[in-house]
Structures are given as C-alpha cells and as structure tokens.
Structure 1
Amino acid sequence: MTGKTLVEIPGPAGGRVLGNLQEFSTDPLRFLTACAREYGDIVRISPRNVLLVGPEHVERMLVDRNTDFVKEGPEARRAGRRQSLPLSTMSADREDWKAKRRRIQPAFGRELSATAAAAMRGQGERMLEQWRPGQVRDLQQDVSVVTLRLVTALMFGEEYTDSEIAEVAGMVAPIMELSASPVVLPEWLPTRRKLQIRRNLRRVERTLARVAASGRAADPKAAPVLHALLHGTPTPTPAEVKDELATLLMAGYETTNDAVVWASVLLARNPDAAERVHREAEKALAGNATGMALLGELPYTDAVLRESLRLYSPVWMTSRDAQVDVKFSDYVIPAGTTVTVSQWVNHRDPRYWKQAEEFRPERWLGKEPTDVPRGSYFPFGLGPRTCFGASLAAVEAVSLLATVWSRYRLRLAAPEVRLRPALALQPLDARFTVEAW
C-alpha cells in the first residue's frame, strides 16, 4: 500500500507539552470544526489521532472497511484506556459483537416501537398534568423523568418509583459527563471525576441486579428486552448483564432526552415552525389513530426531529481504532491510529447542506434529501453498527414532541442554552416559560 504517511497528514501543531489536548478539551466542537475548515477532510489532531470529514471517508470507515476498525485496539489497551462498560454490545467487537447483537436486536422490533409510541403519549400527558401556564420549567429535568420511566417500563418490564427515578437520574448524570475524546487521560490516573463515576457505576449495578432478578424477566411480553438478554444465546454472564443493562438504560434515556430538548429549543426559536407542529399534533391527537399509525399523521413533527438531529445530534463524534493500515485518499493511516468522525462537523458542512447552519425542517418532508451524500448525515451511526435502538428513540421523541406542543407553547426563559459535549451533546439551562396556545 503506497501513499503519504501519518506524519504528512496536515493538522494543528498544538503546544509542546499537551499538543492539542487543551484546545480540544476547552471547546471540542469549535476545535474539530476549525480543523476541518482549515486542514481539509483528513486531519492529524495528535500523533496517534486522525479526524476524517468527507462523507466518502465516513462511509469508507463505518461501512466499506468497518471490519478494519474496532472500538478499542491493542494500542488503547496498552495505554490503559478502557471502555466504561466493556462487556456491553456497544463496546464489543468482531464475533463477540455479532453474537451479542444477534441476542438482543430482535427485541427492538416494530412491536416495541408501537408500544413505545402509545406509552410515550401517556407519559407525556402525565408530565403535563404538573404544568401550568406561566410556569418556568426545566425541560431537561422534566423530560428525563418521562424518558427514564418509559425506558425502564419498556426494557425491564416495570416502572420505577419516583424516588428510584430520581436516584437513577442522579447516577446517570455524572457518568454522562465523561468526554468522548479520542485523546484521553490514562485509566489509572485517579481524578475526582473518575472516582465519582466508579462510585455511581457501583450504585447502578446494585439497582440493575434487582431488575435482572425480577420475575418479569421470564415474560417476553412484559419485558421483551430483559427477556432477550437473559434468555438469549449465548447465555450472558452476570457481568455482561450488568454492562448491557447499564448501557441500554443510559443510551435509551440520554438520546431521547437530548433530542426532545434540542428540538424544543429550535421550535422556541422558530415560532412559525412551532405553530405548524402545534396544528399538526393537535389534529393528529384528536383523531382515533394510535401507535405507529399516529406517527404517520405527524410528518412535519418528524421532519423537525430529523433537522434537530442534524444540527444537534446527541452523538456528536464517533471514534474507532484502526487494526490494519487503511488508505484514505492519498494518505495511509497506520494500524493503531484512533480515527474519529464527527456528526457535528459533517452535519453542518456547507459543501453538502444548503443553509447548513439554519433550521429548515422542510428539507426532510416527502423523502430524505437525495442530493446529500450518505456520510453527511448519521445521527445514529452508519453501517452494521448503526444503533439498534434508533427507530425506538425516534418514535419516542416524535410522540413526546407532539404531546407537549399540541398543548402548550414554550418560550425560552434562559438567555442562552449552552452546549455540553460529553458522551452526548447535552443542552444546559434549557428552561422554558409555559404558555397556552
């Protein structure tokens, strides 16, 4: 294989000691965007880290050559960098990943999505019972209760009590503060945040152990996901069960939560779009349609969600370790290199998106944009490792958006909603004033 080497790939030099670590840690979204705009579609951001930007490169990494990249290669293990939940499907690779995905994916079918659509409307109405016009609500907090209730009920066959929901939310929040940085501190370094995360993980384990021991696990109708996990093939070890449940809980909770809040932020900033969602949702919810049929009557609300996922994808970057030398354009990226693609960067690339920084839900009406390369939009990943809960998360988010905006108009109460790029792209200070239509 011939081509330019890793050291020849252009990129920011950074400082003499920390390289680009400080700039990345301070504002990773700005840093990655600046790298792409200044240095092109292949950027060396550290001696062992490369950023890929062009949609053809994203597709090559995640689809065409996906078997040449793993979640964590030997270089990462030697450096002491380990996955937080290493035995989950999300952290697995190769045959181990295939076996784990085959075991659990059947539970995430159309039946679960239909159940979620109906259940989310009910949970949303339950939330709105506490709202009154004129109140200022922390939407992130309100929606987190709804999504945690729904996730636990759908996946584990029982709904947590309000005190349990509060406890789980308190445990999840510090864990989600972990940065998804491809440049990380060694696992052995005892930072205060890592010690707190470990304590919270132990508390999560105790809660999930009780869930796994529940009698509902034997009933595929009552707890389809838990049943598939515990009774599927190969039989999981207790440690695998813990990692899988913790991952499902955090991923199912955080993705939907952030998607609903960001979409609401955009609707609050765009009153014409909010009015259109209100009219559509009010009409649809007044009819007899339920479940997936109801979602078919919410095309504009669905377009709002898709556009929100473009501008504020909860998953804002994805990293893999190259297992072999892989050629991208004129460059050879050697084995052991951590390669990163960024939804934040690609979803806002003006070369492929007209009015890339603008909120334009209409671009998703009718059918997906045909003039945009596939690697330009991948909020739930791309290729074989696309999130198997993507459809479920979208159904939940559209259902909750319709329920909320059919009843109330939300106006931003905070001067600015800030972004926190942790494991997910979290909105901070997402407070809204509730108004009657």
Structure 2
Amino acid sequence: MTAAPYRTDLPGPSGDKYLGNLHAFSSDPLGFLTDCSRRYGDVVRLGENNVLLTDPADVEKMLVDRDSLFSKASADTRRGSRRQGFPHSTMNSDGDRWKAKRHRLQPAFGRSLSTKAAEIVDAQGEKLLRTWLPGQARTLQDDIAVVTLRLVTQLMFGDEFSDRDTAEVARLVAPIMDLSTSPVLLPEWVPTPRKLRIRRSMARIDRTLHDLAASPAAHDPERAPVLHALVHGTPAPSPEELRDELATLIMAGFETTNDAVVWTSFLLARHPRIAERVRAEADAAFATTPAGLPRMEALPYTHAVVRESLRLYSPVWLTSRDAREDLDFGGYLIPAGTTVTVSQWVAHRDPRFWEEAEAFRPERWLGGGPSSVPRGSYFPFGLGPRVCVGAAVATTETVHLVADIWRRFRLELTTPDRVHPRPALALQPVGVEVIPRPW
C-alpha cells in the first residue's frame, strides 16, 4: 500500500452526469486526449477508474521500470471473449505466461527475419507497381494492404497467400480491427450487427489459420521461422492458443505496416521537396546496393522520413495497463485496479518536448535523432519488456516499400482535405486516394 502524503484529487474533465466523458472520448478520441493533456497536466483523471499519463518520465516509469506492477489492459482482454478477441495470444497475456510465450517467439524475429523481409518486400513492391498506370487514381490503403498481407504471410508462414485468400483475409480483418471503435460494452448475448459480423469473421479466420498451421511450411524453420517456433514450441500450444497467436501476428504485421506506409506516402505527397530527396536517395540505393539489409543502410534519409511519420501518425496511438497495486505518479495516488493510459498521439506531438511538434521534419532524426527529447516522448513500438517483437522487421518493410514506391512515382492526392485518422485498434488513414505521376 502506497503511503500518504500522495494526493487523490486528480484533475480532469467532469463530463456528463450519467455518461461521464464517454461521449467526448468516443466522438473524438484524439482531440479529447490532447485537450486533457494540455488542460489538466501530467496526470489526468479520464473517468472513475481511468487515468492518463503525459509526462515522458512517467511514461517510461510505467512501461519500463514498473512494468511488472501492471497487467495488460486492452479492448480485447476486457471483453474476455474468444469470439471477440484473442485472449490466448502473447499480445494479450501477462506474467509468467507472457514471458514463456515471448521466449518462444523472440528468436524467430532476429536479424535473419529482417534480412528476409528486405528481400521479399522488393519483389512484392515490384508486383504492385506493375499494376499502376500513370494518371489512374488509386485507393492507396487498398493497394498497400494487398502487398503487406502477402508480405506478412510469406515472411512469417513461408507461403504467399493467393489473390483470393489475400482478399478474403483482408476483408475478414476489417471487422476485428473495428473492435475498439465503440467503448459501450453490451452483454455478450446481445446479438448486435457488429458482434454478428465479428463472430462470422472469427469463424472464417479460424478455418484459414487451421489450414495454415497444418501446412508443410510449419515443419521448416528456414522457410517459416515464426510458424515453426509456434507449432514446435515448448510446451506445445493448444489449438486455441495457436489460432490466437497466428491471428494477432497477421493483423499486427499487416495493419501497422500498411498504415505506416500509407501515412508516410500521404506526408510525402504534401511535401514535394522531401519526396524528391527520397526519390534521389532511393534511385542511388537501388542502382548500387543489392536487395536486403545493405540497401536499408543505404536509405538513411528515407528511414528518417519513416521515423518522423511514425511520430506524427503512429499506428499504435494508445497503450493501456491495469495497476496491480496502489502506485504513485506525479505526486498522485493511483489505486489498484485503475486503467492507466499513455498515448503515442499525445506524447509524440507534445510541444514541451518537440520543436515544431506539428511539423513534418525528417531531418530531426538524422545523426542519431534528437538528443534532447526524453525517452518517454517517442514510443511507436512501445517501450520496455513488451516492446513490439516485430519492430525491426516492420521498420525494414516500411522503409523499403516507401523507397520503392517513391523512386518510381510521384503521388498526387486527389482530395487531401478529406484525409483523416480513424483511431480504431490502429490509427487508420481514411480517404488517401492518389494519382501516380511519372517524375
């Protein structure tokens, strides 16, 4: 028990008499969290059992120093249903159970997987870009989704999905990613249209993943290191655990890379001088450097562009944990059971720590990055023990695909004013329609 004299009168918006801040959050989550951080300070009461932390030191303390004092909290685990989430996955596990799962997966995500990713992404990018015609409008989110889904399945599971399977899985992922768009949790037995769509999608995903786990690639650690690590792990995973692991790996690898590439391309389309520099660097790198990680090392400016894009539009925009015991942050008492939240969207745009916080300035990441920015101010892949296991692979994929697209085409936004972020389980770009133009 944390001793006094910590304060308990946390500042924060009072909200509606009956619904509290539910309406304000659900109607504009990004604006609501930003306003709370600017108006109420570093520790904000969002609701009866919800707190937002905005001080980078507290962010680091929560995710790194005090990680063991929190349990995983997410939309999936709070719902606690196999039909509406993936509770048996590493992503949604805690304690010793999480450590065992992470230990089983970690070796498969080494440097060799990043090398393989760099090689595969070039081929998949080439396949996509051959279908683009100069002057023909494209919905960028849909096009990149096909590439990233093929990439993640081939990279992790040894086999590239067919066009039909790719379209099917992409269609099924959408309602699952929709899980967090409504914070109102009705009883499980209430057959809402959303729940019915999710249940149908889960059933189809189960069938697809069952076939994947039974494929010959599961027995080949060179061809499919991630799948092999799961299927042949110790102890052997249950069928439910295996399905949940495969589902979360596909969705995390597919959705976050997809969003990162689209957001980066959106920013480059709005900043032609930066785009020209990316094109020049990519031209030189593709002409003189073989595919793979050596090419990644030849793209430092493009890497800086991606890092800056992840600052402004991190696909992971919110991270929450449940306090296992009474804790103190910023001089305030946080009772056990409180859901404590940190927001990449808020932290990455905090003007206290970022010069020209709203501006797209890739050069801030050159030469090792901004040394004056606290560690807890930038965490697109998380921090501490639970940092994303696939962070290096995702970065490699994003940098290579952005370089390949922009060395071939200059993308023109058809309706730039209609582009906006949709904060679901990931920060999805909406309305990014582009016209490829030759340089």
Residues 153-200 of structure 1: per-residue CA shift (max 9 Å, x gap): 11111111101100000000111112278x552452543212211221
- Aligned mates of 1:332, 1:173 — CA distance in 2: 39
Q: Which residue pairs with 2:434 in the alignment?
A: 432
Q: Which residue pairs with 2:243 in the alignment?
A: 242
After TM superposition, the score normalised by the length of structure 2 is 0.96
Structure 1 residues 180 and 244, CA gap change in structure 2 (3 angstroms): farther
Structure 1 residues 81 and 44, CA gap change in structure 2 (3 angstroms): farther
Give the alignment of 1:1-80 within 5 angstroms: 1-6=3-8, 8-72=9-73
Q: Which residue pairs with 1:302 in the alignment?
A: 303
Residues 28-87 of structure 1: per-residue CA shift (max 9 Å, x gap): 0000000000000100010010011110110111011000111149xx98x865571000
- Aligned mates of 1:80, 1:282 — CA distance in 2: 48
Structure 1 residues 334 and 184, CA gap change in structure 2 (3 angstroms): farther
Residues 183-233 of structure 1: per-residue CA shift (max 9 Å, x gap): 552452543212211221111111000000011100001111000001122
SS at match of 1:2: coil
Q: Within the alignment, does 1:199 sit opposite 2:229 as a pair?
A: no
Residues 410 and 433, structure 1, Cα contact 8 Å, conserved in 2: yes
SS at match of 1:339: strand
Q: Which residue pairs with 1:381 in the alignment?
A: 382
SS at match of 1:100: helix
- Aligned mates of 2:10, 2:186 — CA distance in 1: 26
Q: Which residue pairs with 1:285 in the alignment?
A: 286
Moved more, 184-193 or 162-171: 184-193
The residue type equivalent to 1:264 in the other structure is S
Q: Which residue pairs with 1:110 in the alignment?
A: 111
Residues 81 and 186, structure 1, Cα contact 8 Å, conserved in 2: no
Structure 1 residues 244 and 210, CA gap change in structure 2 (3 angstroms): same
Residues 26 and 181, structure 2, Cα contact 8 Å, conserved in 1: no
Structure 1 residues 390 and 140, CA gap change in structure 2 (3 angstroms): same
- Aligned mates of 2:195, 2:377 — CA distance in 1: 34
- Aligned mates of 1:233, 1:313 — CA distance in 2: 34
- Aligned mates of 1:157, 1:398 — CA distance in 2: 22
Residues 79 and 85, structure 2, Cα contact 8 Å, conserved in 1: no
Shift of 1:12: 0.4
Shift of 1:419: 1.0
Shift of 1:388: 0.5
- Aligned mates of 1:358, 1:315 — CA distance in 2: 20
Residues 259 and 309, structure 1, Cα contact 8 Å, conserved in 2: yes
Structure 1 residues 302 and 106, CA gap change in structure 2 (3 angstroms): same
- Aligned mates of 2:53, 2:196 — CA distance in 1: 33
Q: Within the alignment, does 1:145 sit opposite 2:110 as a pair?
A: no
Give the alignment of 1:380-419 within 5 angstroms: 380-415=381-416, 416-419=418-421
Q: Within the alignment, does 1:422 sit opposite 2:424 as a pair?
A: yes
- Aligned mates of 2:6, 2:28 — CA distance in 1: 30
Residues 407 and 436, structure 1, Cα contact 8 Å, conserved in 2: yes
The residue type equivalent to 1:33 in the other structure is T
Q: Which residue pairs with 1:312 in the alignment?
A: 313
The residue type equivalent to 2:298 in the other structure is E
Structure 1 residues 297 and 370, CA gap change in structure 2 (3 angstroms): same
Residues 6 and 328, structure 2, Cα contact 8 Å, conserved in 1: no
Shift of 1:106: 0.6
- Aligned mates of 1:106, 1:80 — CA distance in 2: 31
SS at match of 2:422: strand
- Aligned mates of 1:210, 1:41 — CA distance in 2: 48
The residue type equivalent to 1:422 in the other structure is A
Q: Which residue pairs with 2:175 in the alignment?
A: 174
Q: Within the alignment, does 1:342 sit opposite 2:343 as a pair?
A: yes
Shift of 1:368: 2.1
Structure 1 residues 151 and 29, CA gap change in structure 2 (3 angstroms): same
- Aligned mates of 2:246, 2:36 — CA distance in 1: 37
Q: Which residue pairs with 1:274 in the alignment?
A: 275
- Aligned mates of 2:54, 2:433 — CA distance in 1: 34
- Aligned mates of 1:186, 1:333 — CA distance in 2: 27
Q: Which residue pairs with 1:332 in the alignment?
A: 333
- Aligned mates of 1:368, 1:236 — CA distance in 2: 41
Shift of 1:392: 0.4
Residues 80 and 186, structure 1, Cα contact 8 Å, conserved in 2: no
- Aligned mates of 2:7, 2:326 — CA distance in 1: 10
SS at match of 2:230: helix
The residue type equivalent to 2:427 in the other structure is L
The residue type equivalent to 1:138 in the other structure is T
SS at match of 2:368: coil
Q: Within the alignment, does 1:165 sit opposite 2:129 as a pair?
A: no
Shift of 1:105: 1.1
Residues 5 and 333, structure 1, Cα contact 8 Å, conserved in 2: no
SS at match of 2:179: coil
Residues 11 and 35, structure 1, Cα contact 8 Å, conserved in 2: yes
Residues 141 and 259, structure 2, Cα contact 8 Å, conserved in 1: yes
Structure 1 residues 135 and 204, CA gap change in structure 2 (3 angstroms): same
SS at match of 1:178: helix
- Aligned mates of 1:216, 1:60 — CA distance in 2: 41
The aligned length equals 432
Gaps of 5+ in 2: none
Residues 256-280 of structure 1: per-residue CA shift (max 9 Å, x gap): 0000000000000000000000000
Structure 1 residues 4 and 190, CA gap change in structure 2 (3 angstroms): farther
- Aligned mates of 1:396, 1:80 — CA distance in 2: 32
Residues 122 and 291, structure 2, Cα contact 8 Å, conserved in 1: no
SS at match of 2:315: coil
The residue type equivalent to 2:254 in the other structure is Y
Residues 108-134 of structure 1: per-residue CA shift (max 9 Å, x gap): 110010010011011001100001110
Residues 316 and 380, structure 2, Cα contact 8 Å, conserved in 1: yes
Shift of 1:17: 1.1
- Aligned mates of 1:215, 1:297 — CA distance in 2: 36
